[in-house]
Structure 1
Amino acid sequence: MPLEPVIEIISILFIATLIDITIGEPPNRMHPVVMIGRIIKFFTKIIKNASRYRIGKETFEKVMGSILALGLTVMVGVVVYYVSTQSFYLLGTVFFVIVSSAILKTTFSIRAMDNHIREILVELDKNNLNNARTNLSKIVSRDTRNLSESRILSACIECVSESFVDGILSPLFYYGFLNIPGSMMYRTINTLDSMIAYKDDYHNKLGWMSAKLDTILNAIPARLSSVFMIASIMVCGQDWKNAIKIVKRDYQNTESFNAGIPMSIMAGGLNIQLEKIDHYKLGDMNEQITIQKCKTSLKITKIATLIFMISFLIPVIIILNYFNWWTILFGI
């Protein structure tokens, strides 16, 4: 049972987290997820153009969309695996750790969501509702033009809660089992979901497989998130008992199979009601939604991330090392 692989893999996690906290996102021209997004756009146009005059258009788009989702995900996994292994064999351990840390950082983001939300809160603090609505529109799909301050804050807290799963916990969860290829493959599917998995006529069939894969891959992390979020709510001195009550009662209120879990936990822990008009209500309006409540939600997700890493992710990496998984995976 060699110790070197586990030390390297935990070091990659630590360095990637440090990069995220101190530097943040790389420029778009160098961001792998942005490049993946461009590939998705390119093939989406090709598929839509090819299906325009085709008999059985819906079936064609469903099949081609499935090939795109599965093919791109596998391709990304293979490329990232090749790059990471070759960096080790050709340039040694130090370069392997540096390259892997840089790639891993692009699959999750703690700082970016924090920055987006705080920009909105600054505008609300100045009573600049229009600016707050504009900034909010960059991170949500709903119409923000006429939202009140409380609706804006609700949307912010919903984003913070949901992004804890698909922006932090899920990519790191798959890193814990499949290293960089697993984390990057998850991010590919999540990007496909965010770009083409809509229910409108244009995307409905094309993004069918992407939506299914995203739901499946987030199922376990979303449910695990409840443990770390409730523990964090306890640490922050919020109402953890109500969080458990609300998640049991309301987690199925959302159309999403997974999103209702972290959002309802946050609603219960903060003793507030989160609402997307004509879609769902989570929690009870025991207390008003305030800017401070939103800041507390950010704190909860950060502490939950730390608890997740220490109590789950690192132990998983160590246990897998005991069974020589990392040696088998990378052939080292």
Structure 2
Amino acid sequence: MVDSACRVVYLNSIAFFVGFVLDWVFGEPPSKFHPVVIVGKTISKLEPLFYAKNGGFLSGMFFVLFVLLLFCLPVFAIEIAVLKTNDLFVDLFYEIVSVYLFFSSISVKSLKKHAMDVYLYLKKGDLDKSKVLLSFMVSRDTETMDEKKVITSTVESISENFVDGILSPALYFIFFGPVGAIFFKIISTFDSMIGYKNERYMQFGRFAAIFDDVLNFIPARLSIVFILPAVIIKGYPVVSTLESFSRFRKSHSSPNSAHPMSAFAGALRINLGGNTIYGGILVKKTIIGNFNKRATVEDIRRAVDLMQASSFVVFLFGLAVFFRLSLSCGWV
């Protein structure tokens, strides 16, 4: 069993390396075959069935658990097959599945592209187009935003998605393999589809929203560990980053969002947060940061650079963990 477990570690280490490189070079896989898209379509088709009962908390909970079992059990079964057999074709199939699930669970290049699209149209002076592009990244209303709000909202999205779209899925893959990655992405997809505080989903989507917060709880708090080395690499102010993180990391209604956001605010020395409109309703938010510098278009580019450098630190961390496990298995 020890040899089998070491073989799984070996396969996961290769999948981690290859998956990260594939995402960095190619970005998201085709939507037709994207696991998250498939999960999203499944959620959409099954939602009426589960909501029809009473649309309450328990219905939403059983809905989430059902979809988790539907997608996670097959992946878990493949891993069990690897552990119980010593078959080259089983190992190869597991490796293909692992690479694809991890590759599709992180989004470094995709996040960069969405943010840089907003950046490029702002540089051209096309504020209206930049607001449309920003709407693909955030759930807030973008129509009435001025240029400054578009900039800060883009930076906020970059910082939050560093945790949701890169750090969290990477950590869950490192420690739990492909099952961990798909498990996290299912919950994240549920949260983005039904985790809203509106009349329809207040109770039905509550379990998904809470579960998503729980899964991101530790990664969000660890985000500074990966952002800080990137701050040093990029030459951004270390003291300002640490002070902002220490002071503002809890300044958000979400238990997780302000942790990476406060670090990015300190690194770029700009204020983030503040009042925002969602569905036509003004939501009052605390300002994260205490800086006199006005946010500029270039702060989007700098935030993207910081996100990429932080992602590279995550990559190095993953390789270090797998190297340490390799030592335990006697490979090195």
Q: Taking structure 2 as the reference length, what is the TM-score of the superposition?
A: 0.89
- Counterpart for residue 206 of structure 2: 208
- Counterpart for residue 56 of structure 1: none
Q: 1:308 and 1:22, CA in 2 relative to 1: closer, same or farther beyond 3 A?
A: closer
1:150-229 alignment, distance < 5 Å: 150-229=148-227
Pairing partner for 1:106 from 104, 107, 128: 104
Separation of aligned partners in 2, 1:155 and 1:214: 21
Separation of aligned partners in 2, 1:211 and 1:47: 17
- Counterpart for residue 293 of structure 1: 299
1:34-73 alignment, distance < 5 Å: 34-51=37-54, 61-73=56-68
Separation of aligned partners in 1, 2:203 and 2:295: 38
Deviations 1:44-64 (A, max 9, x none): 22233333xxxxxxxx62101
**Aligned to 1:199, what secondary structure does the other structure show?**
coil
Does residue 25 of structure 1 match 2:23? no
Partners of 2:16 and 2:318 within 8 A in 1: no
Separation of aligned partners in 1, 2:183 and 2:108: 19
- Counterpart for residue 328 of structure 1: none
**Aligned to 2:168, what secondary structure does the other structure show?**
helix
AA aligned to 2:89 is L
Does residue 79 of structure 1 match 2:77? no
Identity of matched residues, %? 28
Separation of aligned partners in 1, 2:289 and 2:41: 38
- Counterpart for residue 122 of structure 2: 124
- CA shift, 1:200, in A, is 0.7
- CA shift, 1:70, in A, is 2.3
Partners of 2:194 and 2:204 within 8 A in 1: yes
- Counterpart for residue 264 of structure 2: 266
Separation of aligned partners in 2, 1:47 and 1:7: 40
Separation of aligned partners in 1, 2:110 and 2:321: 26
- Counterpart for residue 10 of structure 1: 13
Deviations 1:270-318 (A, max 9, x none): 11001242223111233221222111111111111121222x3233334
Separation of aligned partners in 2, 1:77 and 1:94: 19
Does residue 249 of structure 1 match 2:250? no
Partners of 1:234 and 1:240 within 8 A in 2: yes
Paired positions, count: 315
Partners of 2:151 and 2:297 within 8 A in 1: yes
Deviations 1:173-216 (A, max 9, x none): 01111100111101101111111111111111011111111111
Partners of 1:189 and 1:210 within 8 A in 2: yes
Q: Give ranges in structure 1 of 5+ residues lacking alignment.
A: 52-59, 325-332
Q: 1:44 and 1:93, CA in 2 relative to 1: closer, same or farther beyond 3 A?
A: closer
- Counterpart for residue 316 of structure 1: 321
Q: 1:109 and 1:265, CA in 2 relative to 1: closer, same or farther beyond 3 A?
A: same
Does residue 281 of structure 1 match 2:287? yes
- CA shift, 1:165, in A, is 0.4
Partners of 2:232 and 2:238 within 8 A in 1: yes
Deviations 1:209-261 (A, max 9, x none): 11111111111111111111011111111112111111111111111100100
Which piece of structure 1 moves more, 97-106 or 85-94? 85-94
- CA shift, 1:14, in A, is 1.3
- CA shift, 1:92, in A, is 4.7
- CA shift, 1:85, in A, is 5.7
Partners of 1:177 and 1:317 within 8 A in 2: no
Separation of aligned partners in 2, 1:35 and 1:6: 27
Partners of 1:177 and 1:316 within 8 A in 2: no
